[in-house]
Amino acid sequence: MNKHILIVGGGYVGLYTALRLQRKLRRELRDGSVRITIVDPNSYMTYQPFLPEAAAGNLSPRHMVAPLRRVLPKVRILNGMVTEVDHNERTVTFDPLEGPAREIAYDILVMAAGSISRTLPIPGLTDIGIGFKTVGEAIALRNRVLHLLDVAESTEDPEVRRRALTFVVVGAGFAGVEALAELEDMAKHSTRYYRNIKPADIRWVLVEASDRILPEVGPEMGKWTLEQLRERGIDVKLETRLESCVGGHVVLSDGTAFEAETLVWTAGVKPSPVAAGGGLPLDERGRIKTTTMLTVDGVKDAFAAGDAAGVPDVTSPGEYCAPNAQHAVRQAKVLADNVMRSMRGQKLVEYRHKYVGSVAGLGLHRGVANVYGVKLRGFPAWFMHRTYHLSRVPTLNRKVRVVVDWTLALFFRRETISLGEMEHPRDGFRAAVATMRRVA
């Protein structure tokens, strides 16, 4: 046996698959009969359920990511994108962070490239819209909200102020609802430091095309969450679509039109483009078609799981597993075992997991949960949200850092500093150079 396992994507599926292989194939990795490579543009795995907490400033962004090279010392990590897969030749095209693209040969392929935001051709969306899937987006949003409070406090123009203080979130799944609830909570808390901004001056609008929010916690808890958000003054618009947002002029399908400086797009995900980049079979939603054993349907030596894969849900015949971390982590375990079984010529096992429900944070000390039929609201749900996600964070090191962040937040007031200038670190230097030219 001399095998090279190539994993495309170092997120949930990629990291957990590699972790298990690293542990179970210790001997083979040592004697060189097995090599594992992960390709990912980032050198870290993002624990996405903590993005809202990072945006709210309860968690340091560095603590909600797991550094791949440190966690996976026996695995080669290459940073860049896989742009094409030629499975007949058992090669991928790898586009590194710098320099020309090159081919990498492999024996076994694991497709774990996750998903990207599912956007629509809405006028203006690319101008003012921002997604909520990466650490960069979460921190940029945090900086933006705080910066716009500064703008509103410092202007005398009521139009500029109103526009700065209007925030729109499109899509009311857990990413949208949690992002909105945490940011609203943070903004409300921050107003105590501003003389001219009261919580009621800030307008939050949640736009949802269907007639319910947070389907992940079921209809009853979704309805409860809706009432909670409305009680907090959030304008939740159901059965409403975003029609356009050119230059920040937001037009909704219910006829409402207003100006907003910020629009967060969380209206679903679609598979990473690399899923379609290599002749692997796709399902009707563009995901890599897999069997219940997490092998790519009808293709030898290729596996796929997570958001990029259409995995049949054996607990609900005719349906697919939803794109969430609950499935991704469990699929990774079965996938790693099946990779080893296939190398040893053993029978593969089926992926079977019945969705157990979800927990969501709705701001500090507030949450909603529906897990194994147990429905919780408010503080108990928030506590469950934190303990559940803490238990899922990879490595003890990260867990400790997260707990330290939370503990500090218990004793000190929350950080409300906008470090937006970090996104433009050369501006000051450029301005200095410009003054020098004028003097010359």
Ligand X SMILES: Cc1cc2nc3c(=O)[nH]c(=O)nc-3n(C[C@H](O)[C@H](O)[C@H](O)COP(=O)(O)OP(=O)(O)OC[C@H]3O[C@@H](n4cnc5c(N)ncnc54)[C@H](O)[C@@H]3O)c2cc1C
Radius of gyration of the chain (CA): 23
Report the nearest approach of ligand X to the CB of residue 346 (Å): 25
Name the strands in the sheet holding 257-259, side by side, starting at the edge strand that comes first in the sequence.
242-244, 249-252, 257-259
Residues 76, 96: Cα–Cα separation, whole Å: 14
Q: Are the beta carbons of 108 and 4 closer than 8 angstroms?
A: yes
For tokens 């992940």, the residue is 216
Q: Which of 36, 75, 112, 205 binds ligand X (CB under 6 A)?
A: 112
Q: Which lies closer to ligand X via its Cβ, residue 52 or residue 57?
A: 52
Question: Are the beta carbons of 95 and 290 closer than 8 angstroms?
Answer: no
Does residue 51 interact with ligand X by CB under 6 A?
A: yes
CB nearer to ligand X: give 25 or 288: 288
Least gap, CB of 96 to ligand X (angstroms): 11
> Which of 37, 166, 262, 326 forms a contact with ligand X (CB under 6 A)?
326
Considering only 5, 29, 48, 260, the residue that binds ligand X (CB under 6 A) is 48
Query: Which residue, 124 or 323, has its beta carbon nearer to ligand X?
Result: 323
CB-nearer residue toward ligand X: 43 or 292: 43
* Consecutive H or E run containing 77: strand 76-86
What is the spatial distance between Cα 408 and Cα 59, in angstroms, rounded to a whole number? Answer: 10
**Helices H / strands E in the chain, number of each:** 13, 24
Binding segment for ligand X (CB under 6 A), chosen from 44-52, 151-159, 292-300, 412-420, is 44-52
Choose one: 9-17, 237-245, 336-344, 372-380; the region binding ligand X (CB under 6 A): 9-17
Report residue 194 as tokens: 């501003």
Structure tokens at 201: 């001056």
> Greatest CA span in the chain, whole angstroms?
77
Between 125 and 160, whose beta carbon lies closer to ligand X? 125
Q: Tokens for 17, please give them.
A: 């698959």
- Provide the token pair at 111: 């497709």
* Residue with smaller CB distance to ligand X, 10 or 312: 10
Q: Which residue has the tokens 């609201």?
A: 377
Q: Which is nearer to ligand X, 197 or 329 (CB)?
A: 329
Site string for ligand X, 332-371 (x = CB under 6 A): --------------------------x-------------
Based on CB atoms, which residue is closest to ligand X, 14 or 124? 14
Alpha-carbon distance 24 to 342, whole Å? 14
Q: Pick left, alpha or beta for residue 262 (phi over 0 → left; psi -120 to 50 → alpha; otherwise beta).
A: beta
Backbone angles phi, psi at 130, to 5 degrees: -140, 140
Nearer to ligand X, 179 or 252 (CB): 179
Site string for ligand X, 267-286 (x = CB under 6 A): -----x-x------------
- State the amino acid at position 327 in one-letter form: H
Q: Which of 129, 271, 323, 363 binds ligand X (CB under 6 A)?
A: 323
Query: Which phi and psi angles does 99 have, rounded to 5°?
Result: 90, 175
User: Is residue 129 near ligand X by the rule CB under 6 A?
Assistant: no
With beta carbons less than 8 A apart as the criterion, state whether 136 and 258 touch. Answer: no
What DSSP designation does 134 have? S
x/- track of binding to ligand X for residues 164-203 (CB under 6 A): ----------xx----------------------------
| 114 is a site residue for ligand X (CB under 6 A) | yes
Tell me the window of 59-67, 201-209, 305-313, 340-348 that interacts with ligand X (CB under 6 A): 305-313
Pairing of strands 129-130, 115-117: unpaired
**Residue 6 interacts with ligand X (CB under 6 A): yes or no:** no
Q: Quick one: which of 12, 106, 204, 265 contacts ligand X (CB under 6 A)? A: 12
H or E segment at 125? Answer: helix 125-128
Residues 240-269 close enough to bind ligand X by CB under 6 A: none
Answer yes or no whether residue 137 interacts with ligand X by CB under 6 A.
Answer: no
* Binding positions for ligand X, rule: CB under 6 A: 8-14, 39-42, 48-49, 51-52, 81-82, 112-114, 132-133, 174-175, 272, 274, 306-308, 323-326, 328, 358
